[in-house]
Amino acid sequence: MARRYFGTDGVRGRVGDSPITPEFVMHLGYAAGKVLAKGGRGRPAVLLGKDTRISGYMLESALMAGFCAAGVDIHVTGPLPTPAIAYLTRALRLSAGVVLSASHNPFEDNGIKFFSADGNKLPDEIEEAIEALLGEPIVCVASERLGKAFRVEAAAGRYIEFCKSTFPFALDLKGLKLVVDCANGAAYHTAPHVFHELGAEVVSIGTAPNGVNINDGVGAVYPAAMAAAVQKAGADLGISLDGDADRLIMSDAAGRSYDGDELLYVLINDRLREGQVSGVAGTLMTNYAFEQAMARCGVPFERAKVGDRYVLELLQQRGWMFGGENSGHLLALDCHSTGDGTISALQILAAVVRSGKTLAELTSELTLLPQKMINVRVERGFDWQSHQGLAAASASAERELGRSGRILIRPSGTEPVLRVMVEAGTAEQASRLAQSIADSLQ
């Protein structure tokens, strides 16, 4: 079945435009409730969280109405990181978890993400079943079977304790001064407490959400804010999360930022000292230098499609524990069922404390290749794989690169754009070859 609404991470869009309208979201809650109510034991119940967008108030009410109409109870947490909802859904033994968030997008956007009872993204067949019901009218269950709403007490505190439990008990963060940037998002009242309670001196930024400032010049999408704050405060490290706190970018005392590939490299090398790595999953965008580094370490490496959902699927297929994206989604399945920026930061901090080394020292043997991305607008349905000029330009670039770089050409999943990416030994070479490939499409 072709999906109309669900993408790689739930349903997302501009608030007020289809499908992110109160009417649709209520219908989505009803359809999801009907599907989730099938085959379960006892009365179905879902956990509902959100980030700090102003539209969350409106959409939360719409979702609750839909679930109640389907006879599903709702346990409401208020603003809480997406990975916290995944954890609490599992801990509270609920039927599913739902998060209102558009992650790293601006406040004008919002979305609906679903988690299964075990804290994983919903399987494709469940999402397809929900979509199939969206074309049917809402028919309320009998009044005595309508769903009820409950406030989850101490949800933030429970999640904070869970995060802390993933940090080695024999270690602490005493003596470290950390800048924690919460992007004015969902982690504003959780992440700083986690690091402080483990002993760090914490300087918080991006912790004053007002409904419209989420991801606004702060957070993982704008790591320069964290890096500047680190230098201003004389801190040892910076931790930057995105709006729903599932991404992580870090910086060192010198203000240098470290992306997901570099942080995953630190994590893998730390785990290798304990012999715990059977394989690593990246994406099509993972830097070629990371792949070469895994080969040097003797660790199997495979690429999934772009999206943490596909990284997770690959890990589950292979029975591996670790993976990630260069955007900052890191997966450590020995700690959590989904990507979690706070927990990922704790794993990197554990590596720093355990080794006594800086991030620069821990990544000294990983030199990422310069990357150049060019987006070329094409007509919808453009058959780029049969384009002779593109094939010739790509072949010429591949001959020049040899084994010192790589080329990636892929269509965008959201707009009529062909993405041309080249990694090479120098920024000049990457830019020149990417431009020659892009020009072949003109």
Q: Which of 204, 279, 274 is nearest to 239 (CA)?
A: 204
- Which residues make Cβ contacts (< 8 Å) with residue 42, sequence separation at least 6? none
Tell me which residue range forms the domain holding 387. Answer: 371-439
Residue-wise pLDDT for 238-275, tens only, equals 999 999 999 999 999 999 999 999 999 999 999 999 88
Helix axes 388-401, 427-439, angle to 10 degrees: 160
Same domain for 192 and 59, yes or no, is no
Per DSSP, the three-state class of 287 is coil
Residue-wise pLDDT for 334-356, tens only, equals 999 999 999 999 999 999 999 99
Same domain for 411 and 281, yes or no, is no
Same domain for 314 and 165, yes or no, is yes
Domain boundary among 332, 362, 392: 362
Same domain for 71 and 178, yes or no, is no
Q: Is residue 216 part of a domain?
A: yes
Q: Is residue 4 part of a domain?
A: no
Same domain for 242 and 267, yes or no, is yes
Q: Is residue 2 part of a domain?
A: no
Q: Please report where in the chains the tokens 């990284």 appear, as a residue.
A: 311
Q: Is 103 annotated as catalytic?
A: yes
Q: What is the CATH number of the domain that holds 191?
A: 3.40.120.10
Domain count within the chain? 3
Judge contact between 252 and 258, C-beta under 8 A.
Answer: yes
Same domain for 113 and 192, yes or no, is no
Residue-wise pLDDT for 278-289, tens only, equals 999 999 999 999
Return the structure tokens found at 151.
């406030």
Handedness of CA 194, 196, 200, 203 (dihedral sign): positive
> How far is residue 333's CA from residue 350's CA, in Å, rounded to a whole number?
16
Q: Is the pLDDT of residue 89 over 60?
A: yes
Q: pLDDT averaged over the chain?
A: 94
- Which residues make Cβ contacts (< 8 Å) with residue 105, sequence separation at least 6? 12, 111, 215, 243
Domain boundary among 362, 391, 419: 362
Same domain for 169 and 191, yes or no, is yes
Q: Which of 384, 368, 366 is nearest to 440 (CA)?
A: 384
- Which residues make Cβ contacts (< 8 Å) with residue 84, sequence separation at least 6? 49, 77, 155, 156, 159, 162, 186, 190, 245
Handedness of CA 298, 302, 307, 312 (dihedral sign): negative
Percent of the chain that is helix, strand, coil (3-state, to 5) = 35, 20, 40
Q: Is residue 5 part of a domain?
A: no
Distance from chain centroid for Cα 85: 13
Same domain for 201 and 80, yes or no, is no
Q: Is residue 3 part of a domain?
A: no
Per DSSP, the three-state class of 222 is coil
Quote the pLDDT of residue 412: 78
The maximal CA–CA distance of the chain, rounded, in angstroms, is 71
Q: How many helices (H) and strands (E) does the chain have?
A: 14, 18
Per DSSP, the three-state class of 205 is strand
Quote the pLDDT of residue 37: 79
Q: What is the CATH number of the domain that holds 393?
A: 3.30.310.50
Q: Is the pLDDT of residue 1 over 90?
A: no
Same domain for 327 and 402, yes or no, is no
Domain boundary among 153, 170, 191: 153
Quote the pLDDT of residue 40: 63
379 Ramachandran zone, left/alpha/beta (phi>0; psi -120 to 50)? beta
Same domain for 322 and 247, yes or no, is yes
Residue-wise pLDDT for 352-377, tens only, equals 999 999 999 999 999 999 999 999 99
Q: Which of 55, 101, 103, 204 is catalytic?
A: 103
* Tally of CB atoms within 10 A around 36: 26
Judge contact between 335 and 276, C-beta under 8 A.
Answer: no
Helix axes 260-272, 341-355, angle to 10 degrees: 50
Average pLDDT, integer, range 76-102: 97
Q: Which of 427, 389, 20, 347 is nearest to 163 (CA)?
A: 347
Average pLDDT, integer, range 107-127: 90
